[in-house]
Structure 1
Amino acid sequence: MIFFVDNEVDANFSFDIEDVAKKVAARVLETEGCPFDVQISLLITDDEGIREMNANFRDIDAPTDVLSFPNIEYDVPGDFSVAEGEQKVDIIDPESGLFFLGDIVINENSVREQALEYGHSELREFSFLVAHSMLHLCGYDHMEEDEAAVMEKKQEEVLKSLNITRD
């Protein structure tokens, strides 16, 4: 797995952003049975940076905690066979030859604020946002109650398996 990290706001946490993101992403891909070696981009930004992206891509002129930009459309969440068909040309990075899963954008301010709000560590909040976004990159959504329940369960299972708890 290649993880490109752009820390445009020079966020400084008590953990290594790239190492944690890779570890969480790898566990999500493992639990989802992704058969590909993947490439993912991660951007760390602030309220203004993510607000601008949210406005441009979702027509929501407000900051958010995380944005996910999947590179493929899944027929069924977590079913990577869609990447083996005609769409394959569009998902393979020509330079690396890897399956380009998509982009993750995390708001540094939200990591800090939500960690305080929920009473857990910044490591846990950051890991949660990576897991959440990775599931979006694997085709999951939370628009409906049943979809949200599936995502919540998967996120918690991934974090628990990595011993990243709310403590």
Structure 2
Amino acid sequence: MRLNIDFMDETDDVKQEEMNLLEKLLNHAAEMESVDKDSELSVTFVSNDAIQEINRTYRGKDSPTDVISFAMEEMGEGETEIAGAENLPRMLGDIVISIDMALKQAEEYGHSYIRELGFLTVHGFLHLLGYDHMTEEDEKRMFTRQEDILKSYGLER
């Protein structure tokens, strides 16, 4: 495997086989994106209440959302690089997914829960790699890449 992934399920609703599939999907995405071997990230599954609190605290939006990513490699103003960090595994960051929203959106979009969970996971992963959808051009690039990854893995609508 290419990635070291720490899965945490605060809902106790995600089955081990679903986490295994997401681990394989993330490793597939990492290979397609040429991510360094042994890079690390976490994926946490939460309720709508928990993700709403995170969304309010970190984004100033007092509503639940489906996925939030916290990239570790974004250097902000006034931050400094850690000496010797080049010898450490690459820390990509954290992905937080609302299971409640995944279930709701799977039904709304007419596809399976695992397809929605895979979509949200890849979406969060691409954010960790610097993809964004703030402009129309960036959105097209990111969503095309998501679909390419999901399709090549075999997790289509």
TM range (shorter): 0.7 to 0.9
Structure 1 segments unaligned to the other structure (5+ residues): 75-85
Corresponding residue number in structure 2 for 1:63: 64
Task: State the identity %.
Answer: 35
| CA 1:158–1:51: 2 relative to 1, 3 Å | same
Structure 2 segments unaligned to the other structure (5+ residues): none
Aligned length: 151
1:141 and 2:132 correspond: yes
**Equivalent-residue separation in structure 2 for 1:90 and 1:153 (angstroms):** 36
CA positional deviation for 1:6? 1.0
Corresponding residue number in structure 2 for 1:165: 156
Per-residue CA deviations over 1:85-138 (Å, capped at 9, x if unaligned) read: x7465967x9xx421110000000011100000000011000000110110000
**Equivalent-residue separation in structure 2 for 1:91 and 1:60 (angstroms):** 34
The TM-score, its normalising length taken from structure 2, stands at 0.88
**Equivalent-residue separation in structure 2 for 1:151 and 1:6 (angstroms):** 26
Q: Aligned-residue CA RMSD in angstroms?
A: 2.1
**Equivalent-residue separation in structure 2 for 1:101 and 1:29 (angstroms):** 11
Corresponding residue number in structure 1 for 2:8: 6
Paired residue type of 2:110: G
**Equivalent-residue separation in structure 2 for 1:164 and 1:89 (angstroms):** 41
Partner-residue secondary structure (3-state), 1:131: helix
Partner-residue secondary structure (3-state), 2:54: helix
**Equivalent-residue separation in structure 2 for 1:65 and 1:147 (angstroms):** 20
> Is the 2:36–2:90 Cα contact (8 Å) retained in structure 1?
no
Partner-residue secondary structure (3-state), 1:61: coil
Superposition pairs for residues 18-167 of structure 1, below 5 Å? 18-73=19-74, 87=81, 89=83, 97-166=88-157
**Equivalent-residue separation in structure 2 for 1:49 and 1:90 (angstroms):** 35
CA positional deviation for 1:27? 1.8
Paired residue type of 2:93: G
The TM-score, its normalising length taken from structure 1, stands at 0.83
**Equivalent-residue separation in structure 2 for 1:90 and 1:62 (angstroms):** 40
| CA 1:89–1:141: 2 relative to 1, 3 Å | farther
Partner-residue secondary structure (3-state), 1:142: coil
Pick which of 62-71 and 34-43 moved more. 34-43
